[in-house]
Structure 1
Amino acid sequence: MKKSLAVALGVGGILGAFELWYRSRDNKPCLMLPAHRHPWRIHNYAADKRIYRTNIPIRNFSRKYECTVVDVQAKVRILGKAALPDPAALQITATIRPWHKETREDGYWPAYILTPQSTLEFELAVECSGDLERLKELHAVVIDLDYITYSRRNKLKKHEEIVLIPEQQVSASPEPITEGDVTLIPVKTHILTDADNMADVIAKYVSPIAQSGDVVVMAESVVAVTQRRYMIPDEHVRPGFWARRLCFLVPNVGSLSSAYGMQSAINEVGLPKMLTGVAVGGFMKVAFRKHGWLYRVAGMPSELIDDLTGTMPPYDKYIVLGPAHAQSVVNEVKARTGLEAAIADVNNIRRAAIVAATKNVDPKQLAASLLSNPHGNSAEQTPIVVVRSAKVAKVESHS
């Protein structure tokens, strides 16, 4: 009996040690990195043919093991401003071409082995042919990229999306809004994507109309979009144990009321801070009927999350986080344009919060001037507002 017990314990110990060894093996993923893609290259081959090209990397992050990129496929989804153009008049297709020695001319993706810590780039080409004037009728083109990776542990199907705005002409901006001694000038832009830089956008749309003392205010969700700070549920974020339970403590109107939104917040601020925020928020609500303490304790990143439907198409299917390095963004705008700048979170219930601002901006005065939500919460396409008021910013002296 003792001998059998000793054998069982020995075998159990060996199996346990083997399991620990297995779990300690490098499990870093092999991922497509659309945030690191090249800028679009536009080729106008003829009056009826235009091709947009970009290179996108796929990286094997494992330090020890190979990973095979089995397949990459591209499909196009078209969003119209109204009805879509007749397919006979305008055709849009997407093709891919890997940049390695086994590339084929027939569009077939040959399975390719990525060695540890190596990167493969492929070219995505979006061809528009036919009556290119009809591109003005399009809201956006979304390219679905489906790919398969094959490693020691598993075979995985993964998905990414790229947004392309083929025609960037913009209609006139809304009329300025005057409230007391404050003038608010909503600025209409093309639909911004991760191919845009906010300093460039403001130099293009705002600099021509700006005056000394103006403050340019950027909507926080749009800044996040230009940084590709948005996620596809189940692809980039998957709810864990706590997210699936804590989300039921948040009212329906909150972006953290879904398990995916809550998990995004946990990823941003950490589980201990979120648990503390939920506990304090619940206590303040029950004991003193005070709302908003969850976000005060958990921090602004949890408050800036927009769940599905929180932004305009095509981003309404994504979870959009708050912007990263917000202070650096406004400083870059100031350095590029000379304008005072801020990033704000504004909604339709007369609430405005300043996420970041350059040093000459008075955050309290600026927040008060934005309570009417001049950015809009729908499809106004006015992610920038110029605030003109002597109270909001000091004019720098250059004497």
Structure 2
Amino acid sequence: MIVAGLIAGTLGILGAAAVGLEIGYRQRLGNKLELSAGKWRIEEYELDHYRIVGDLEFINQTPRLDIMIPQVHAEVTLLSAGSLAGVRTESTIIPRYENADPREDNYWESYIVEPRKPAAIEVPIDITGSDLSEISAAWIQMHFYTYGRGGRIPRVKHIVVPLKFPSVESSKRWRPVQDADLLPIKTHLLTPLDNPAEIVQRYVSPHAQPGDIVTIGESPVAIMQGRFRHPSNIQPGWLAKRLCYSFYTTSSLATACGLQTLIDQVGAWRVFFAFLGSIPFKLLPRDLAKSMNVDGMFYRLAGYQANLIDDVTGTIPPYDKFIVMGPQNPRALCEQIKQETGLEAAVVDVNDLRRVKILASSSGVDEDFLATALITNPAGNGNEQTPVVLIRPTETAVAPLPETVAKTTV
């Protein structure tokens, strides 16, 4: 009896210690080191030579732990409308942190980043070839390893730098629709280096007049906010791996990484209970569920971000390799655009199925009118690269909202 009690007590202590270690481990940040997208500039822009330079920072986000960077290199993928035969790229990583001693051979000397401190680097990239005019962007993958309490972990920071910029005059074809004229606006390939208000100022303002409304697609806004993730940086958990089988194959939540993206935003418990809560409504015939307005109940319970995630292949290159989330604070963004440009603004999600979702708009927008004007999807769903549409009302009366239009304001 005494021996059994001692064994039970010892096992209890060991179990409590193990639980304590696990809880402590999960609360620690480990190798919490991030690389910023930085600021990029074009230093040379000749027909046969582009030189772009980025100023980036490694940031140790832990309060007390040193994190080492044993290896860094850049991989450059060019996007072009023409052949890339004969085009070469060369990249260099130059340390710019305190007491750095850059090497001529481009060898990266392992470096310790102290807690809460940044470590700056400079990344010059040279692109050479006989004719570079068809190159639209450089997709830069910054590969690096973190070494510390969490082990040796490979990481990748994805940066897209635009290299081709359409003229304002390239957007001149107005399209008449009911009660409005529409002008799809062509832009350069948008990236997190861009600001939505500045894009409107640059490409839209030269065409605009008082009373016009500018709309921006939700995915381009999310991209400018840096809200996209490469699947290699996503670790699907137990719930995502099992629950993704419950969605139609056309859903962006039908893959483990797509669903994990939602879980990371709203939490596992909300996703799990949204799934449970939607089961009774899934048992109803589809026509009956639509007539009762209870179809798509999971997406309602999980939150509006569940409807906005675009999985791999859902956007234009190079973002077709990423999972793009919905934008953050779209209403505040619309008001910012209005304040800085004087134009009423809206963030929208429109497709070729004659469905219009208005995520948010500035205070002076009639959303019924807007949804009717966008029903034909003037921005397109392909590679038109016209993420912005300028709408000019031609009638004071607003037509009734078609039944195929869905409005969502968040």
- Count of equivalent residues: 385
Q: Call closer, same or farther: CA 1:357–1:110 in 2, change over 3 Å.
A: same
Q: Does 1:240 align with 2:237?
A: yes
The answer to whether the 8 A contact 1:366-1:392 is kept is no
Most deviating of 107-116 and 262-271: 262-271
- Judged with a 3 Å threshold, the aligned counterparts in structure 2 of structure 1 residues 392 and 205 are, in CA distance, closer, same or farther, namely farther
1:247-396 equivalent positions in 2, closer than 5 A: 247-287=244-284, 288-290=288-290, 291-389=295-393, 390=395
The amino acid of 1:200's aligned partner reads E
> Which has the larger displacement, 12-21 or 150-159?
12-21
User: Amino acid of the residue matched to residue 168 of structure 1?
Assistant: F
What are the Cα deviations for residues 131-167 of structure 1, in whole angstroms up to 9, with x where unaligned? 4xx2221132111211111102311111121112222
Which amino acid in the other structure matches residue 33 of structure 2? L
Deviations 1:270-311 (A, max 9, x none): 333323433344432322333322222222111111001110
Distance 1:355 1:392, change over 3 A: farther
Task: Write the deviation string for residues 103-134 of structure 1: whole angstroms up to 9, x where unpaired.
Answer: 33221111111122222111111112344xx2
Q: Report the residue type matching 2:325 in the other structure.
A: L
8 Å Cα contact 2:31/2:149 also seen in 1: no
CA gap of 1:200–1:282, structure 2 versus 1, over 3 A, is same
The answer (yes or no) to whether the contact 1:362–1:392 under 8 Å persists in 2 is no
Structure 2 length as normaliser, TM-score?
0.87
Query: 213, 228, 231: which one pairs with 2:229?
Result: 231
SS of residue paired to 2:301: helix
Whole-Å Cα distance in 2 between the matches of residues 392 and 345 of structure 1? 24
Moved more, 210-219 or 158-167: 158-167
SS in 2 for 1:311: coil
Gap runs ≥5 in structure 2: 399-410
Residues 99 and 11 of structure 1: is their aligned pair in 2 closer, same or farther, counting only changes over 3 Å? farther
Tell me which amino acid in the other structure corresponds to 2:165: Q
Structure 1, unmatched stretches of 5+, are: 394-399
Shift of 1:46: 7.4
Aligned CA distance change for structure 1 residues 350 and 281 (closer, same or farther; 3 Å): farther
Superposition deviation, residue 263 in structure 1: 1.4
Query: Taking every aligned residue pair, what percent have the same amino acid on both sides?
Result: 34
Cα distance, 1:64 vs structure 2: 2.0
Letter in 1 for 2:114: T
- 300-309 or 21-30, which moves further after superposition? 21-30
Pair 1:29-2:28 in alignment: no
The alpha-carbon deviation at position 27 of structure 1 amounts to 2.7
Q: Distance in 2 between matches of 1:391 and 1:28?
A: 60
How far has the Cα of 1:83 moved from its partner? Answer: 2.2
Q: 2: CA distance between counterparts of 1:45 and 1:165?
A: 12
State the Cα distance separating 1:11 from its structure 2 match. 6.6
Q: 2:309, 2:107 → 1: CA distance?
A: 39
Give the deviation of 1:269 after TM superposition. Answer: 2.5
Aligned equivalents of 2:390 and 2:48: distance in 1? Answer: 38
The answer for the alignment partner of 1:175 in structure 2 is 173
Give the match for residue 114 of structure 1. Answer: 113
